[in-house]
Amino acid sequence: MFTSSVITVLVCTVSSFALRNVEGTKPVLQRTVEALFMDRSHSTYPGTCKVFVASNKQAKLCRREPLLPKIIQTAKKQAISACNETFQYDRWNCSLVFNRKPRKSIFNKIYRETALVHALIAASITHAVARGCASGELTKCSCLGTFKNSSWQIKGCGDDFKYGKRVTKNFLDLKHAGNDQIGEILKQDVNIGMDSIGEQLKEVCKCHGFSGSCTTKTCWKKLSPFNSAMGLLKKHYHHAMKKKFVNYTTKRAITPKVKKKLEKGRNNLVYLQKTPNLCVSTKGRACKDRHNCATLCCGRGYVVEKKLVSSRCRCKMVNCCFVKCDTCVEEVEMFTCK
């Protein structure tokens, strides 16, 4: 009896330890991406980062940059908004679950959609931080300085992409994302997201001088609106590569030989599991046009309705400073999947 009791206690102890170990094994990268993308509310959480329950390292970063939580909140909002707008006429419309089934979360496995969301959150944080440098909200940017001349002075910097990328890597704790295959794949997806922002970086210049002359020129870096990068991310989504576990024990650090295989296709988003058939969830969805319906409705057909839509038209300036418009009514076709 005594032996039996000891065994029971040992089993319970090992089980509870294993449970805690499993719960604590998900890296900061995955926890952060899931927390930011899944929470569609405006809730404030305890701690210095406020947007979600942060790790110790993230809390330290938020203490160093007091306005970083605001920047992360901006990144969260623009990521979700851009995703909803970009994928509103696709079978997957940025929903958190597949086919409206709560147990079918997009984060259960590494689907094509999971890869896209990791790239999206990384891209949005990079963009928001870079813009935060230009607006002066962040104080630790690498490009902060003063440019002087006898007649003019400029303080601050442009959109600091390098600093945005560095903060994103630190905030998502890429260094500790894992040395297994899942970790390597998600790090690649995050890097694709950050680099998509860098591709939108342009140089903008302003001339300084008397009577419009350009005796001196000041130049700075400027990012395009986030939706421009979102278009590039959608291309990556459609061209994403499916990979198999080269070594199925995913918790084991990968060997150099396996790592070399994983490095193929470094310029693509990578995922591991095929997305479930999403045709069930497109019933009743609005299509963009007849061509879009052919794909979205999965061959079930669609309903066409005609509606009258009012809009402003024939606008003109009246009495110097007022704009006067007529109201035009137009008949438009609305398409809905059967």
pLDDT at 259 over 70: no
Q: How confident is the model over 131-160, as a mean pLDDT?
A: 68
Can you give the pLDDT at residue 248? 46
Show me where the domains of the chain are located: 16-275, 283-338
Query: b or e along 141-175 (b: 16 or more beta carbons within 10 Å of the residue's beta carbon)?
Result: bebeeeeeeeeeeeebbbbbbbbbbbbbbebbbbe
Can you give the pLDDT at residue 220? 79
Under DSSP, the state recorded for 111 is: B
Q: Which of 229, 270, 226 is nearest to 114 (CA)?
A: 270
pLDDT-based confidence at residue 28 (cuts at 50, 70, 90): very high
What are the pLDDT digits (tens) for 206-250? 887 776 677 777 787 889 999 989 999 999 999 999 988 765 444
pLDDT at 150 over 70: no
Who's near 276: CB < 8 A, 6+ residues apart?
98, 99, 104
- The pair of structure tokens assigned to 147 is 């440019």
Who's near 326: CB < 8 A, 6+ residues apart?
312, 313, 314, 315
Can you give the pLDDT at residue 10? 34
Q: What's the Cα-to-Cα distance from 42 to each of 38, 39, 76, 125, 236, rounded to whole Å?
A: 12, 8, 10, 17, 30
Can you give the pLDDT at residue 306? 93
How many whole angstroms separate alpha carbon 303 and alpha carbon 297?
A: 10
Can you give the pLDDT at residue 277? 95
Q: Could you tell me the end-to-end alpha-carbon distance of the chain, in angstroms, rounded to an integer?
A: 66
Can you give the pLDDT at residue 258? 60
pTM: 0.82
Pseudo-torsion of CA 261, 266, 271, 275, nearest 10°? -120
Can you give the pLDDT at residue 261? 60
Can you give the pLDDT at residue 114? 97
Q: With contact defined as beta carbons under 8 Å apart, do 106 and 260 qualify? A: no
pLDDT-based confidence at residue 337 (cuts at 50, 70, 90): very high
| CATH number of the domain located at residue range(s) 283-338 in this protein | 3.30.2460.20
Q: With contact defined as beta carbons under 8 Å apart, do 193 and 120 qualify? A: yes
- The pair of structure tokens assigned to 106 is 């997009």
Give the type of residue at 260.
Answer: K
| pLDDT-wise least confident of 26-40, 211-225, 276-290 | 211-225
Can you give the pLDDT at residue 263? 61
| pLDDT-wise least confident of 21-25, 173-177, 190-194, 286-290 | 21-25
| pLDDT-wise least confident of 178-192, 193-207, 244-258 | 244-258
Question: Under DSSP, is residue 83 helix (H, G, I), strand (E, B) or coil?
Answer: helix
Please report the beta strands in 37-124, taking only residues with DSSP state E, as ranges in sequence order.
Answer: none
Q: How confident is the model over 246-258, as a mean pLDDT?
A: 57
How many whole angstroms separate alpha carbon 124 and alpha carbon 168?
A: 9
What are the pLDDT digits (tens) for 94-105? 999 999 998 999
Give the type of residue at 65.
Answer: E
Can you give the pLDDT at residue 244? 83
Can you give the pLDDT at residue 217? 77
Who's near 312: CB < 8 A, 6+ residues apart?
325, 326, 327, 328
Give the type of residue at 276.
Answer: P
pLDDT at 118 over 90: yes
Q: How confident is the model over 120-134, as a mean pLDDT?
A: 95
pLDDT at 88 over 50: yes
